[in-house]
Amino acid sequence: MLPKKKVTNNKTTLIVGLGNPGEKYESTRHNIGFSFIDKFSEQIDCPITESKFNSLYSSVNQEDRKLLLLKPQTYMNESGVAVKKVKDFFKISSNQTIVIYDDLDLQVGQIKIKDTGGSGGHNGVNSIIENIGNNNFIRIRIGIGKPLEKSMTNKYVLSKFTKDESKIVNNINNLAKNIIYSIVFKSISFAMNTFNSKIQ
Q: Would you call 34 helix, strand, or coil by DSSP? A: helix
- Residue 171's contacts (CB-CB under 8 Å, 6 or more residues apart) are 109, 200
- Indicate if 122 belongs to the active site: no
**Closest-CA residue to 95 (of 185, 182, 8):** 8
Q: Which of 30, 71, 85, 87 is catalytic?
A: 30
CA within 13 Å, CB half, 38: 13
CA distances (Å), 10 to each of 91, 130, 166, in order?
A: 9, 23, 36
By annotation, the residues acting in catalysis are: 30
